[in-house]
Amino acid sequence: MLKFLRLLPFVVSFGLLSSACSIQAVKGVPPPTAEPLQVSRVEPSPAPAHTPTAVVPSRTPTRAATATPLPTPTPFITPPPPGAPVSIPILMYHHLKTLAPNASETLRTWTVSPEQFTAQLDYLQTRGFHTITFRQLAEFFERGAPLPTQPLILTFDDAWIDAYTVAFPELRKRGMVGVFFVPTQYVDAGGELLMNWEQVLEMDRAGMEFGGHTISHADLTKTNLVEARRQLVQGKAITEEKLGHPIVALSYPFGAFNPQIVAEAGAAGYRAAVILCCGYKQQSDLLLMLPRIRISYGDTLDELAKRLPE
């Protein structure tokens, strides 16, 4: 069972109604037939020729153009001063499956049932949260790109197959995005428990985001610096080669990090990195130590609500 440790942290369209001006043509009335009058010793005079009266066609009054009501724009938030915290919850999932009643506490800690998961997605949408990616988060803090109000990130660690069979379709159904951290040796490792690169590519092309999780899910604080650097650099490079584009985010395996590992993550090119614990306040000067909120088996919606910003 993979464990992690956490520390910190329009198109505005005006529909103008077409001004329809219709002209109704009115034809002249043909002259009646004249009968000559017989009068004694008086020559009949022909009836004067009938001159049709010119009729001026009437114009249908032009309707005033009416603008279609403007759609309500999506409100955005702007970055705070450097170092100031912003409420952006990052939820953490691992397994998405139904457990046996006698499942161990460890397994329950890192698992959420599919029914729980879909109920949580519906709840988050009802609360008005908008899912974003780490690329958006980095752009927000680095150069002031706006984010929708009530931004939230959904993360899934370890390349388990239920990320593809459960999370992916449920997210797409709701127009939401998720971020998936995959150790490169786990993908295509065989068996029915892990995703393959074809599935990863399908999800990536559909708008999901993928991040680094090293090569072999190594505890970077327990390896020498050379190996830690290899895990970070090559794990990122392999993922980018498979996807065909850069990645920006890292999840430290087991949530294990220290100042030296954080520095190595930045040197490897990661712009954001997540840990295991705890809270939802994110800061521009702590982008490589972003806290997450762990979701576990049996967590109720009320319990979830208490961990989220008001």
Give the integer Cα–Cα distance in Å for 154 and 132. 8
48 belongs to a structural domain: no
12 belongs to a structural domain: no
293 belongs to a structural domain: yes
Q: Above pLDDT 90, what percent of the chain?
A: 72
How do residues 92-140 score in pLDDT, each as one tens digit?
999 999 999 999 999 999 999 999 999 999 999 999 999 999 999 999 9
233 belongs to a structural domain: yes
What distances in angstroms separate CA 36 from CA 30, 43, 52, 132, 257, one per listed residue?
19, 10, 21, 95, 119
153 belongs to a structural domain: yes
> What is the pLDDT at residue 161?
98
Q: Would you say the C-alpha torsion 142, 146, 151, 154 has a positive or negative sign?
A: negative
Q: What is the mean pLDDT of the chain?
A: 83
Six-digit token string for 35: 């009968």
DSSP the chain: ---------------PPP----B---PPPPPPPPPPP-BTTBPPPPPPPP-PPP-PPPBPPPPPP-PPPPPPPPPEE---STT--EE--EEEE-EESPPPTT--HHHHHTEE-HHHHHHHHHHHHHTT-EE--HHHHHHHHHH---EESSEEEEEEES-BTHIIIIIHHHHHHTT---EEEE-TTTTT--SSSB--HHHHHHHHHTT-EEEE-TTT---GGGS-HHHHHHHHHHHHHHHHHHHTS---EEE-GGG---HHHHHHHHHTT-SEEE-S---SEE-GGGTTSB--EE--TT--HHHHHHTS--
Domain total in the chain = 1
Cα pseudo-dihedral 294, 298, 301, 304, rounded to 10 = -20
> What is the pLDDT at residue 79?
79
Return the residue matching tokens 């951290």: 181
10 belongs to a structural domain: no
How do residues 134-158 score in pLDDT, each as one tens digit?
999 999 999 999 999 999 999 999 9
Please check whether residue 147 is in contact with residue 177, taking contact to mean a CB–CB distance below 8 angstroms.
Answer: no
**Cα 237 versus chain centre, distance:** 25
How do residues 23-72 score in pLDDT, each as one tens digit?
333 333 343 333 333 433 434 444 444 444 444 444 444 444 444 444 44
pLDDT band at 74 (very low <50, low <70, confident <90, very high): low
Phi (first) and psi of residue 152, to 5 degrees: -155, 145
189 belongs to a structural domain: yes
CATH of the domain at 226: 3.20.20.370
Parent domain of 228: 76-306
Give the integer Cα–Cα distance in Å for 294 and 49. 100
241 belongs to a structural domain: yes
How do residues 29-40 score in pLDDT, each as one tens digit?
343 333 333 433
> What is the pLDDT at residue 213?
99
Give the integer Cα–Cα distance in Å for 228 and 216. 11
